[in-house]
């Protein structure tokens, strides 16, 4: 029987508040983690973590993740276009607050992103995102653990 490769975790690291949590979960399950950024990542030194710095255009880190990710992998991002592209490749996608992106909800998320960008451009809305809370961190950890357990059952 052929061996099924274990999932890998890709982290869109720019402004990611849950890198340490991802590493803890990955360590518990022996998963490879790629922390991908356009620059300025502090090396973790952990043997399961590979820091990837992608120079170039604004979306270069996103492009690198999409090129590498495969069905069954897990992508951690709050970037909705990256979430959409990762879902197309068959990856599970989890936002920093524990929100799971899916084929069923990504269309609405993209539409809301566009509406909010238009409202910000018109000056109707000034803020971007709510503050990251302890409840968000807890929800994220629970959902990431669930995704990893689900991947292990495949």
d(CA 78, CA 12): 8
Residue 20 has pLDDT above 70, yes or no: yes
3-state secondary structure (DSSP) of residue 73: coil
According to the model, what pLDDT value does residue 118 have?
A: 60
76, 71, 87: which is closest to 6 by C-alpha?
71
pLDDT in tens, 34-56: 999 987 777 778 899 999 999 87
Token code pair at residue 97: 């607050």
pLDDT in tens, 56-96: 777 899 999 999 999 999 999 988 899 999 999 999 999 99
pTM of the predicted protein model:
0.85
d(CA 126, CA 134): 24
Q: Specify the residue for token string 């451009």.
A: 121
Are 70 and 91 in contact by the 8 Å Cβ rule? The answer is yes
Token code pair at residue 148: 């990893």
User: 13 Cβ partners below 8 Å, 6+ apart?
Assistant: 19, 35, 36, 37, 41, 61
d(CA 92, CA 149): 12
Distances in Å between the Cα of 2 and the Cα atoms of 74, 117, 123, 144 are 22, 47, 56, 26
3-state secondary structure (DSSP) of residue 49: strand
């Amino acid at each position: 029987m052929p061996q099924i490769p274990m999932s890998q975790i890709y982290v869109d690291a720019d402004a990611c508040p849950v890198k340490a949590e991802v590493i803890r979960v990955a360590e518990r399950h022996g998963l490879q983690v790629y922390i991908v950024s356009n620059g300025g990542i502090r090396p973790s030194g952990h043997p399961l973590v590979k820091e990837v710095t992608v120079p170039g255009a604004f979306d270069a880190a996103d492009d690198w993740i999409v090129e590498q990710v495969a069905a069954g992998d897990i992508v951690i991002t709050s970037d909705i276009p990256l979430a959409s592209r990762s879902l197309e490749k068959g990856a599970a996608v989890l936002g920093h607050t524990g929100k799971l992106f899916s084929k069923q909800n990504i269309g609405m998320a993209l539409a809301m992103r566009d509406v909010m960008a238009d409202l910000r451009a018109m000056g109707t809305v000034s803020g971007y995102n709510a503050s990251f809370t302890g409840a968000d961190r807890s929800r994220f950890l629970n959902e990431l653990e669930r995704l990893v357990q689900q991947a292990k059952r495949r």
